[in-house]
Structure 1
Amino acid sequence: MADPESDGQEKTEEPTQKRLEKAKEDGQVASSKELFVLSTLLAGFLLYFGLSPFFATILLEWSSLLRFSGENGLQDEIYRNMGASFTFIFWKSVIFALPLLVIIVLTQMTMSGSINWSTSALAFKPNRIDPTAGLKRMFSVKALVEMLKAVGKVASLIGAAIFVFTSEVDKLLTSQATHLFGGMSRLGDVFVLLIIVFLLVLAIIAMFDVVYQQYDHNKKLKMTLQELKDESKQTEGSPEVKAKIRRLQMTAGARAKQRREAMDQVPSATAIITNPIHFAVALKYEIGTSGAPTILAMGRGHQAQEIIRLGKDAGVTVFSNELLARALFFAGKIGDEIPPPLYTAVAAVLAFIYQLNKGEQVDAPDVELPDDMLFDSNGKSLS
């Protein structure tokens, strides 16, 4: 059945690192119950042998709690021994529980690669109490695999037990012919052999289960092509947005390059129109040519100051007119002729500069601009 969130697409792509990390945050990690059974049984077996030299002492201590002299009151002694019994059981249980806890943690670390604590796994999930979802889980492929695995495990352990008892039947049948401790020793040997065989069988089962659980976990986290594309957009950005950003960057870079190259043309300008500080536009016009004046360079702020400095160093006349400088800056382009609506105003300014450069005493022209050529310092039309 297709995942409803995958829009019918088949999950064929391996999970990304982000998907794996998100699964860990939600408490979804590969886990093998068979590996836990094996590790805890092995740990208990080793603890049994490790603590066996102390069994006699432990039995003596335990038996002392079952003896009552009645010298100080039988009832008080019973209560006292009961309290001591609970303390005895508690601490002896801790001796077994702590190593087993460490083994369980190390086993999970072996499966997932790290200790994973997720509060999301503790959150209430309504689908867990949904009867429909419960029936789907009961009759799913996973449930079938778990059932077959359980049947196989029980059959394997029963077969191992039968094998051990049939191979050791002579020893068990002759135990009654020896003394008590000899018989107990033989039974202990058979018991140890049975545990070892159980461990070997469980190790084989756990090995296959670990491989299957890793495969099943990876299969659940697989992604469709659409999910992969969506995640790529979230982490790296939409390809369309990135392409637009690249275009804007290329455009900005080209403009910056054009302005740097234009700065080299400032010394050859005929005039520089300023407002007088914030904007500067360098114009070039050759008398006798048929074309209109050309904009060599323009800038605002620091760049405007640089244009003015370069022009003054080269002896270019600087003419200050706030509205005309804004109009040329916002309506014109570097390398193009000035906008036609500004022909009259620029012609009057260039004529004034031409006469001024010849040493004539003339008054500055009264420049008038069309209404659609009037801008504020932000480029907004004043009309």
Structure 2
Amino acid sequence: MADTDSYEKTEEPTPKKIKDAREKGQVARSKELATTLVLIASAIALIAIGSIIASAMFTITKRSFTLSRDETYDYTHMFQILQMSVTESAFPLIAFMIIAMVGGIYGSVALGGYNFTWSSAAPKANRLSPKAGFKRMFGTDALVELLKAIGKVSVIIGMAYISLLIFKDEALHLDLEQYPMNLFHALDMIEWAFFLLCCGMIPIALIDVPYQSHKHNKELKMTLQEVKDERKNAEGDPAVKSRVRKLQYQSAANRMMQDIPKADVIITNPTHYSVAVQYDQNGERAPVVVAKGIDELAMHIRKIGTANDVPLVASPALARAIYYSTEVNHEVPQKLFMAVAQILAYVYQLKAHKKGKGAKPKPLKKDMPIPPELRR
């Protein structure tokens, strides 16, 4: 049962899955939304500049068919008519095409956003497969497209009937109006009837957009195993990562052990913590932690320190404070300077005493000057 569940596409697509799909050209698209927006944009453009286009066409038609006797014998007259026609119609027609083009472009990218890729244009074998073709013809998508087609025809017929009811009286009285105002009135009714027909596409688009989004999301859904494999590929195999971390830790520990002989003092807990500190007496840097560790590693640090005559000083509170506040090869925090200075002064005095150059130093105070926020 668990194996069956792992191969069912029940998981939501991951961001990587969605990104890979976009790179292959798989994005949610709604043809109905694109068609609706380009039609509505065209209808609005007709309402806005339809009268300008009609006036231009009226002027062109009137000028083309109103010729003087001399113009009928002038072969250059047709070029003058052509120039006038272009001048009169260029602006309104270009404006109309730009508005329709903007509507078409926005309708194409409104769902799914802009996405350009050559992958979707590449030939695919499944598109030539008769089996896949029959599946597309008689599958769920084909049924949905059929229902949408029936819906579009029904809505358009309904909106056409409503438009006839709205403009019936005005259309029947056009013959009573004067020429050419009746032509412009008829054009105005056609523009608004066209707008109503285009608005009939809105319910179809409103249904198609969430359907296409749901369909696209369903196609991208993943099995539980796919999610696990993707996470493993993105983060790396846990066994490999554990091995890498172990090697990194061993490498860092080896470098750290090599620096212990350079330390001036090893501050201990004395059993659980060890911190090796080095100080440049020229004063160019603050005391630096060259090695630190707990339990077995702490014992190993003390062992190497003893073998190399590095003094061991027991100061449990200070050892814990430095261990938790300072990384290896980093300077000791400024708030611990006073406590570390006392340790180093004690060590230097002890070394001088052993060489017969000074008195034996007094034992260190148990209460070291450690701020409360650094105590562990």
TM-score of the superposed pair, with normalisation by structure 1: 0.58
2:59 maps to amino acid: L
CA contact (8 A) 1:30 1:214 kept: yes
Aligned-residue offset at 1:208? 1.4
| 1:223-279 Cα shifts (integer Å, max 9, x gaps) | 111111121122211222223333444555666677777988999xxxxxxxxxxxx
Aligned to 1:142: 141
Change (3 A) 1:265 1:41: closer
C-alpha distance in 2, partners of 1:61/1:13? 63
* TM-superposed deviation, 1:68: 7.0
Distance 2:41 2:85 in 1: 25
2:217 aligned with 1:218: yes
The alpha carbon displacement at 1:53 in A equals 4.5
When residues 61 and 218 of structure 1 are mapped into structure 2, their CA distance, relative to the original with a 3 A threshold, is same
1:49 to 37, 47, 50: 47
Do the aligned residues in 2 keep the contact of 1:263 with 1:307 (CA within 8 Å)?
no
Residue in 2 aligned with 1:345? none
Tell me, yes or no, if the aligned pair for 1:153 and 1:205 is still in contact at 8 Å. Answer: yes
Aligned CA distance change for structure 1 residues 176 and 74 (closer, same or farther; 3 Å): closer
Distance 1:256 1:128, change over 3 A: same
Distance 2:306 2:138 in 1: 81
The correspondence of residues 170-181 of structure 1 with structure 2, limited to 5 A, is 170-181=169-180
Given that residues 36 and 104 in structure 1 are in contact (C-alpha distance below 8 angstroms), is that contact kept between their aligned partners in structure 2?
yes
Give percent identity, aligned residues only: 32
Contact 1:175 1:182 in 2 (8 A): no
Question: Does 2:233 correspond to 1:234?
Answer: yes
Contact 1:68 1:77 in 2 (8 A): no
Whether the 8 Å CA contact 2:44–2:195 is kept in 1: the answer is: no
* SS of residue in 2 equivalent to 1:111: coil
Instruction: Tell me which residue corresponds to 2:21.
Output: 23
Retained in 2: the 8 A contact 1:14–1:222?
yes
Question: Which amino acid is the alignment partner of residue 236 of structure 2?
Answer: G
Deviations along 1:181-223, one digit per CA (max 9) or x if unpaired, are: 5654554454344233223321222111111111111111111
- Mapped to 1, the partners of 2:184 and 2:93 lie a distance apart of 26
Alignment of 1:318-329 (within 5 A): none
In the alignment of these two chains, the number of paired residues is 271
RCO (CA 8 Å, sep 6+): is it higher in 1 or 2? Answer: 2
CA deviations 1:135-163 (Å, max 9, x no partner) are 22111111110111011111111011112
- Amino acid corresponding to residue 227 of structure 2 in structure 1: L
**2: CA distance, partners of 1:236 / 1:246:** 13
TM-score (norm 2): 0.59
How far apart in 1 are the matches of 2:306 and 2:25? Answer: 64
Q: CA deviation at 1:128?
A: 2.1
Please give the alpha-carbon distance, in whole angstroms, between the structure 2 residues aligned to 1:185 and 1:156: 28
Corresponding position of 1:327: none
Matches within 5 A, 1:290-301: 296-297=303-304
Runs (5+) with no aligned partner, structure 1: 1-5, 268-294, 298-305, 315-383
Does structure 1 residue 100 correspond to structure 2 residue 85?
Answer: no
Give the unaligned 5+ runs of structure 2: 267-301, 312-376
Q: Does 1:244 align with 2:250?
A: no
8 Å contact from structure 1 (residues 26, 120) kept in 2: yes
Q: Which has the larger radius of gyration?
A: 1
Instruction: Give the deviation of 1:81 after TM superposition.
Output: 6.3
What letter matches 1:129 in structure 2? L
| Equivalent runs, 1:263-342 vs 2, <5 Å | 296-297=303-304, 310-311=308-309
Q: Which residue of structure 2 aligns with residue 60 of structure 1?
A: 59
Q: Which residue does 2:203 correspond to in 1?
A: 204
